[in-house]
Amino acid sequence: MRLAPETPTSDEAVHAPAHKTYTDCFGTPGFVGGDWGYAINTDEVQGAGFPSDAVDIADADRRLAVYLLGWESAEVSWRARHCKRESWPNSVIAA
């Protein structure tokens, strides 16, 4: 999920729903673990070139939230692909 450029990612009001997007998966049947964080080398959904184009983005400037979710199988993952996002205000998610 790419956040709008003006979104203050260090603000708990932003961090809490980003973490909740991940923890909403905890009770989903077939979920076995994972983690989340902000990409350190790009804010583009398409990614960055590798390795020569890679740069480290300062913590305060990172806007691409990356979620690594573990499932028992590809079928379970497909069925559970839509974790809840009701806690996200529309103003912080980039178009």
Q: For residue range 10-59, list pLDDT tens digits in order.
A: 888 888 888 888 888 888 888 899 999 988 888 887 766 666 566 788 88
Q: Which two tokens stand for residue 72?
A: 């028992």
Q: Which two tokens stand for residue 80?
A: 């559970």
19 and 88 Cβ atoms separated by less than 8 Å: no
Q: How far is CA 59 from the centre of its chain?
A: 15
- 94 or 37, higher pLDDT: 37
Rounded Cα distance, 89 and 25, in Å: 19
Rounded Cα distance, 19 and 37, in Å: 9
Beta bridge partners of 69: 34
What integer pLDDT is reported at residue 21 of this predicted model? 81
Please name the residues in contact with 22: beta carbons below 8 A apart, sequence gap of 6 or more.
Answer: 34, 35, 36, 67, 69, 83
Q: Examine the pLDDT at 2 and tell me if it is beyond 50.
A: yes
What integer pLDDT is reported at residue 49 of this predicted model? 62
